[in-house]
Amino acid sequence: MWLTFIITGFLGLIIGSFINVIIIRMRTGRSFITGRSKCVTCNHTLAWHDLIPILSFCILKGHCKYCRAPLSFQYIIVEIITCVWFLAVFYIYGISIGGIITALVGIFAIIIAIYDLRHKIIPDTLSYILICLGIILAVVGVSVGWNIILPAYAFIGIHTIIDYLIACIAIPLPFFLLWKVSGGRWFGLGDVKYMIGIGLIFGFLSTLEIVMSSFWIALVIVIILALFEKVAKVFGFGRNRISEEGNILSFGREIPFGPFLSIALMLELLDIHIFQLLFF
């Protein structure tokens, strides 16, 4: 049991490292399958021992070995999040088809969340892959049984294709209208597409709960980060390095909503219902 637990955690770290590669290379157009990893500052090719999850970051003290430029904390944070995600899924669902698919959906949620934090946009590629995955899960789930495909279905009790079609239309529609009316200032189209994918995976009731929970999660996190910024200014803390392209702890006028949807989605997959805990 413990050996399997350790292997699962190590696999989560490796997948987390690969997620970082996807996030960084996707915007540049580089293949995330082939090609050696390089320092984003000096472009020096990194050796294998520079890429060991968590360990390399700690040994190098958060700096590139070749140019001494500070490394983004994104690397280690994503690796830890993915490791914890894998361990949580394994603990709840064990090694099963449902557990593997649950982990896979969570991986997409992590990629979307971090990419949206870095670039304030959700790539169509990720949204369309999630939508296709949702369609496959819905069709196969109807055929062989929902809880076999995704354990979360056993909790939400959804069993009809119609429910999923309603979920991916009715819930995203108001947010699409917000995007249309505001020209993208109030809400992003990428978030709407993300909701469509979520609707196809979870069905109406759980998608509604995920969306409503995400707003509460957003409220709490934004308040915490605002307080953190004030404390940082008072005590003169250094500049945050989670993103090379800016301080994601300071959203400014544009707040990416994808991360909050991802958090609510992952909690739903683990049968943790934020909205129900708050109001029921």
Is the overall model pTM greater than 0.95, yes or no?
no
Question: Residue 123 burial (CB < 10 Å; 0-12/13-18/19+)?
Answer: middle
What mean pLDDT do residues 211-234 have? 86
Residue 113 pLDDT level (bands cut at 50, 70, 90) = very high
- Range 6-13 average pLDDT: 93
pLDDT at 155 over 60: no
Checking if the pLDDT of 195 tops 90, the result is yes
What's the CA dihedral at 140, 143, 144, 148 to 10 degrees?
Answer: 50
* 91 phi and psi angles, rounded to 5 deg: -65, -40
User: How many Å apart are CA 143 and CA 169, to the nearest integer?
Assistant: 23
Question: What token pair was written down for 32?
Answer: 């995330």
Domain boundaries, the chain: 1-95, 120-280
**Cα–Cα distance between 191 and 112 in angstroms, integer?**
10
CA dist 63 and 208 (Å) reads 43
Question: Strand pairing partners for 98?
Answer: none
Start-to-end CA distance of the chain, whole Å, equals 36
State phi, psi for 38 to the nearest 5 degrees.
-130, 155
SS3 70: strand
Span 121-147, pLDDT tens digits: 999 999 999 999 888 887 776 666 555
With cut-offs at 50, 70 and 90, classify the pLDDT of residue 267. Answer: very high
Q: Considering the chain, what percentage of its residues have pLDDT values greater than 90?
A: 36
Calpha distance 230→43 (Å, rounded): 35
